[in-house]
Structure 1
Amino acid sequence: MLHIMGRPSSFVFLFLLHSFMASLAWSDTNITTDKSALLAFKSFITSDPHNVLANWSVSSSPCSWIGITCNIRHGRVHSLNLGGMDLKGTILLEVGRLEKLTILRLAGNKLSGDIPQTISNLSSLELLSLSHNSLSGSIPNEIGDLSQLKKLYLGANQLAGSIPSSLFNYSVLQDFQLAINNLSGSLPTNVCAGLPKLQKFYVNENDLSGDIPSTWHQCTELLELQLGKNKFNRGNIPTDIGNLTKLWRLLLPSSNLEGNLPEKMFHHLPLLKIFDVSDNQLEGSIPKSISNCTSLKELNLDSNSFTGLIYS
C-alpha cells in the first residue's frame, strides 16, 4: 500500500480531490469576473446592427459567446475580437478586469469616448487594436505599462495631445500605428532606442511638429516607415534611413523636406518597393544610386523641384 509521509493513500486521494475542487471554484470565480466585465461592456454598446452580442447572456458561458475565445489551460477569457462589427458605444472601464486577455481587437467600429486607463491592467496583452473608430481624448500614459504588447493599432480616430513617452519603451513592440489622428508634439530624438523589435512605424497624418528624428540605424528590423502629412520643421531627409536594409515602404509626403536626395541614401535599400517624397521642397538631380533599389515598384516625386533623369 502506498504511503506518503506516513499517511494512507486514501488521505492523498482526499487531499487531491479537495485541491481539484478548490481550483475549479477559483476558476469559476475568475470566469465569473470575466463574464460580469463583458456584460458591463455590452451594456454600454448603444447599437449592434449585426446582433453579434445577442448570445451574450447571464445564462451562458462567455466562452461560447461570439467574439470571445477562452484559454483552455486557465479557463479565462483570452481574446475579445469584435472588429468590423459597426458597434456604437464606449469602451467601459470594466474591460480592465479581463486580467488574462492577450488580444483586444475592436477596430472598425463606431466607438467613441476616451480610451480607458484601466487597459493598463491587462498585463498579458499582446495586441491592442482600436483603430478606425471615433475615439477621442488623449492616449493614456498607462498603456506604456503593457510590457508584453507586440502590436499597437490606434490609427484613424480623433485622438489628440502628445504621444506619451512611455510608448517608446516597449522591448517587444513590432507595430506602432497611430496614423490619422490629431496628435501633436514632437517625436523623440532617438525613436528606436526603446523599440528594438520595431517593424512598422506609422504616425502620418497628424499634427506632429519639431524635427524629424535623424537616428534610425537602431531600428534594424524596420520594414515600413510613414511620417508624412505632419507639421515637422523644415529640414533635410534623414540619411540614416539608408541604413535600414529591410525597409520596403518609405512614405514622407508633405513633410517639409528640403535640399537634395542624398546620394548615399539608396546604397543599402535593396528591398525598397514604395518610396514617396511628394509635396516637399526637394530639389537637385535624382541620385543615380536609386538604381540600387532593384525592388522599387512605386516612386512618387511629384510637387518638388527635381531636375535631370530617373535612372533605372
Structure 2
Amino acid sequence: MDVFVNCWMHNTYKFDKSAVRNMEKPLPFVFLFLLHCFLSCLAWTQTNITTDISVLLCLKSHITSDPYNFLANWSVSSSPCNWVGVTCNTRHGRVHSLNLGGMDLKGSISPQLGNLSFLVDLDLSENNFHGQIPQDLVQLRRLRLFNLSYNDFHGQVPTWIGDLSMLEQLSFRNNSLTGFIPLSLFNLSRLETLDWNNNLLEGTIPFEVGRLERLNILRLAGNKLSRNIPRTIFNLSSLELLSLSYNSLSGIIPSEIGNLTNLQTLMLSSNNLQGEIPSSLLNISSLRVLDLSKNNLNGSLPISTGNGTLLEELYLSWNFFTDCFNPLF
C-alpha cells in the first residue's frame, strides 16, 4: 500500500504541474492515469514477493537433510509468510526474518539468499550447514542480526562483512573459519555483539577494535590469535563481556582494563599473559566472573577483591604467584 501511495503522490504531483499549464485534460484521463499507476505498483509488489518465494525455495533445494520435516510447508501452494521460520513485515509484506536455528538441517547456503533484499534477521545457527559463506550475502544491506554459529562453515572469514553497515548482532562461533580478522569489521559502528569463538582465526586483534563503541559482548576465544591485547579494547566503555581465552596472547594485562566500568565477565585463561594482576581490574564494581587461569602471571596475589562486591567466580590456578590465599566473596 505504501508503494501505491508513494507512486500516487509522485505522479499526481507531476500531473498537477502539467494541469496548471494545460487545463484541457478531461477528468477520465485522471482516473485512467491513477488506475494505471495503481496496477503498476501492484504488479511491482507481486514481482518482489515472487522473488522472495523463489529465493527461499532455492535455499530449500540446497538442504539435503531435514530430519524433522520443518520445511514441509515450504511450497508455492501457500504464502511464504506462513512458512516455518519465515516472518514477513506487516507493512510491505516482504520477508523480514529467516530463523531456521536448531532445526538440524544439513546442506549449504544458496548464493541467491542475497536477493532477500528486505531481510533484517538471519539465523541459521545450530544446524549442519557447510561450505563457504556466499559473498552474495553482502547484498543484505538491511541485516541487523546475522547468526551462523554452530555449523561447519569453512574458508576465510568474509572480508566483505564490513559492508553490512546495519549489523547489531554478529555470531559465527563454532565453525571452521580461517584467516585474519578483517579490518572492514570495524566499520560496523552499530555492532553490539561480536561472537567468533572457536574458529581457526590467526594473527592479532587489530587496534581498530576500539572503534566498536557500542559493543557489549566480545568473544574471540578458542582461536589462534597472538601477541598483545590491544589497549584500545579498554576504550569500549559499554563492554559487559570480554572472552579471549584459549588463544596465544602474550604481554601484560594493562592497567587501563579498569576503564571497563560495566564489565561483568572477563575470561583470559589459557594464554601466555605475564606480569602482575593490575589492581584496577579488581576495582571494577560490576565484575562477577574473572578467569585468569593457565597463564604466566606472577607477583603477589591481591589480599582483597577491592570494590568488586559482585564478584562470584574467580579462577587464578596454573600461574606463578608467590603466595596463595582464599578470596572472600
TM-score of the pair, normalised by structure 2: 0.89
Cα separation, 2, equivalents of 1:227 and 1:13: 66
Show structure 1 runs of 4+ deviating over 6 A.
Answer: none
Q: Determine which of 125, 130, 142 is the counterpart of 2:160.
A: 142
What residue in structure 2 maps to residue 230 of structure 1? 247
Secondary structure of 1:215's match?
Answer: helix
Q: Determine which of 110, 130, 135 is the counterpart of 2:148.
A: 130
The answer on 1:92 being equivalent to 2:110 is yes
Structure 1 residues 71 and 8, CA gap change in structure 2 (3 angstroms): farther
Shift of 1:11: 4.4
What whole-Å deviation, never above 9, does each CA across 1:161-203 have from its counterpart, x for those lacking one? 112111122110000100011111111124112x111111000
**Contact 2:52–2:94 (CA<8 Å) still a contact in 1?**
yes
Secondary structure of 1:296's match?
Answer: coil
Shift of 1:289: 5.8
Q: Determine which of 285, 291, 303 is the counterpart of 1:270.
A: 285
The answer on 1:184 being equivalent to 2:202 is yes
The answer on 1:61 being equivalent to 2:76 is no
What residue in structure 1 maps to residue 190 of structure 2? 172
What residue in structure 2 maps to residue 293 of structure 1? 308
Secondary structure of 1:217's match?
Answer: helix
Secondary structure of 2:270's match?
Answer: coil
What residue in structure 1 maps to residue 131 of structure 2? 113
Secondary structure of 1:282's match?
Answer: strand
**Contact 2:56–2:113 (CA<8 Å) still a contact in 1?**
yes
Structure 1 residues 14 and 209, CA gap change in structure 2 (3 angstroms): same
**AA aligned opposite 1:19:** C
**What root-mean-square deviation, in Å, do the aligned CA atoms of Structure 1 and Structure 2 show?**
1.7
**AA aligned opposite 2:92:** H
Structure 1 residues 240 and 9, CA gap change in structure 2 (3 angstroms): farther
What residue in structure 1 maps to residue 3 of structure 2? none
Counterparts of residues 297-312 of structure 1 (less than 5 Å):
297-306=312-321, 307-309=323-325, 310=327, 312=329
**AA aligned opposite 1:223:** E
What whole-Å deviation, never above 9, does each CA across 1:125-167 have from its counterpart, x for those lacking one? 0000000011111111111100000000100011111121111
**AA aligned opposite 1:47:** S
Matched-pair identity in %: 49
What residue in structure 1 maps to residue 50 of structure 2? 32
The answer on 1:18 being equivalent to 2:33 is no
**Contact 1:120–1:142 (CA<8 Å) still a contact in 2?**
yes
The answer on 1:221 being equivalent to 2:238 is yes
**Contact 1:291–1:311 (CA<8 Å) still a contact in 2?**
no
Matched residue pairs, number? Answer: 307
Tell which deviates more after alignment, 9-18 or 76-85. Answer: 9-18
Secondary structure of 2:146's match?
Answer: strand
**AA aligned opposite 1:102:** V
What whole-Å deviation, never above 9, does each CA across 1:17-41 have from its counterpart, x for those lacking one? 3222221111111111111111111
**Contact 1:288–1:311 (CA<8 Å) still a contact in 2?**
no
**Contact 1:276–1:299 (CA<8 Å) still a contact in 2?**
yes
Whose helix proportion is higher, 1 or 2? 2
**Contact 1:175–1:200 (CA<8 Å) still a contact in 2?**
yes
Structure 1 residues 9 and 181, CA gap change in structure 2 (3 angstroms): same
The answer on 1:280 being equivalent to 2:295 is yes
Question: Structure 1 regions of 5+ residues with no counterpart?
Answer: none
**AA aligned opposite 2:166:** Q
TM-score of the pair, normalised by structure 1: 0.93
**AA aligned opposite 1:299:** L
**Rg larger in structure:** 2
Secondary structure of 1:107's match?
Answer: coil
**AA aligned opposite 1:72:** T
Question: Structure 2 regions of 5+ residues with no counterpart?
Answer: 1-14
The answer on 1:203 being equivalent to 2:220 is yes
